[in-house]
Amino acid sequence: MFEKILGQEKVKRIITSQIKSGKIAQAYMFIGIDGIGKRFTATEFAKIMNCSVNDFSKTDVGACEKCISCEKITKNVHPDIHFIGFSRQAELEKSNLEKQKILKIETIRYMQKKVSTRMYEGKWKFFIIEPAEKMNIAASNSLLKTLEEPPKNTVIILIARHKETIPRTIISRSQILFFQPLKVNEILNWLMSNYSIHDGTKIQDIVSLSEGSIGDAKKLADENKKIEPSLWFKFKTQSFYISDILEFSKDVVRQNAALECVNAMIYEAKKDFRIYPKMIAPAIELLITSKMLLLRNVNAQMVLDNLFFDLMDLMSFKYDR
C-alpha cells in the first residue's frame, strides 16, 4: 500500500496497519512542509478505503486504480470524497482563488452539509481540509462540533504546514501524523526518473534548493527547462555547431562582454572540475589562458574564436577520460 508515495515510511506504516486492522481514526492531521505528499497520501487513503476490487484486510497491494471508484477519485469527481480548501471556498463565494487567505465558517458549514447527507456510492466518505492552519476561530469551532459527534464511515483529514494556529481542542481529537522532508537520495532519484537534466551541477542545485520538497524540486526543474543552457553547458554537451560558434563569438565581442563570458565559463568549469577532474582540467587551462590574453588586450575576437574552437576539440574527446 502507498507504494507511490515517496519516503514517509512511518506514516505509511501507521495508516497501513490501521487499514488492515479496521481501526481507522475519525480524524487525522497531516503536518509537514509543502510538496512532500500529504495530499497525495490523503487521496490514496480515500482510494484504498473505497476501492471495489481489492480487500485490504487480506492483502498488502494498493488501490486497484481501475475500478469506477478509483477512477473517479483520480479524476477528483467522486461524490463522497471532498476537498475543502481555498478553491472550494472561491467557488462557493464566486470570487478569485488568489483572494482566499483564511478558511471561513461558511466553507466548514458547506462541508458539514455534505457530512450529513447520505453516502452516494462509496464505502467511506473523506473530507480533506487544507490548509487547516488557515481556519479562523469561527471555522475551527464549527469544525469541532463535527469532530465531537463523528459520523459513521467518515474520515476527516486536516492537512497543515504546522499546528501552531490550530486550537488544541481540534488537535486532541485528531491523530497527528508528521510528514518528513524527503532525503537527498529520494529527491535525486525522483528527479532522475522524471526529468532528463544532464547538467550535474543543475541537479545538485535543484536538490539542495528544494530542501526535501518534491513540489519545490518539480517547480525548479520545470523552470530549468525554460532556461537557456549556459555556454559552458553547450560545450560540455557538444550541442554547438561551428557556424553558431563564430556567430556567437561575434555577438559577445560586439557587446564588449568577452571577459564576462570567459569568467562565467571558468566559474562553471570549476564546479565540474570536482566531478570530472581529468576531463575538465585542460579546459580550465584554456579558459584561464584566454582570460590572461583578454586582460593583456589581445584582440578579443581572435581570443574567443580560438578558445571556442579549442574547447570544441577538447570536449569532443571528453569520454576518453
Place of cell 488544541: 168
Is residue 203 a contact point for Zn ion (CB under 5 A)? Answer: no
Number of residues that bind Zn ion (CB under 5 A): 6
How does strand 27-31 pair with strand 175-178? Answer: parallel
Q: Residue 114 CB, nearest distance to Zn ion (Å)?
A: 22
- Least distance between Zn ion and beta carbon 28 (Å): 21
Q: Which residues have a Cβ under 8 Å from the Cβ of 236 and sit 6 or more positions away?
A: 199, 272, 315, 318
Among 14, 64, 105, 188, binds Zn ion (CB under 5 A): 64
Residue 51 or 103 having the CB closest to Zn ion? 51
Q: How far is the CB of 65 from Zn ion (least distance, A)?
A: 6
Q: CA-to-CA distance for 49 and 39, rounded, in angstroms?
A: 15
Q: How far is the CB of 69 from Zn ion (least distance, A)?
A: 5
Cα(14)–Cα(30) distance, integer angstroms:
12
Contact between 261 and Zn ion per CB under 5 A: no
* Residue 61 binds Zn ion, judged by CB under 5 A: no
Residue linked to cell 571558468: 266
Asked whether position 51 contacts Zn ion by CB under 5 A, the answer is: yes
Q: How far is the CB of 71 from Zn ion (least distance, A)?
A: 8
**Cβ nearer to Zn ion, comparing 70 with 280:** 70
**Residue 70 within binding range of Zn ion, rule CB under 5 A:** yes
| Degrees, nearest 5: CA angle 241-242-243 | 90
Give the pairing type, strands 125-130 and 154-160. Answer: parallel
Residue 169: CB minimum distance to Zn ion, A: 36
Q: Restricting to residues 19-48, which ones interact with Zn ion according to CB under 5 A? A: none
C-beta closer to Zn ion: residue 2 or 232? 2
294, containing H or E segment: helix 277-295
Q: Are 180 and 32 in contact (CB under 8 A)?
A: yes
Beta carbon nearer to Zn ion, 32 or 122: 122
Residues at the interface with Zn ion (CB under 5 A): 51, 53, 63-64, 67, 70
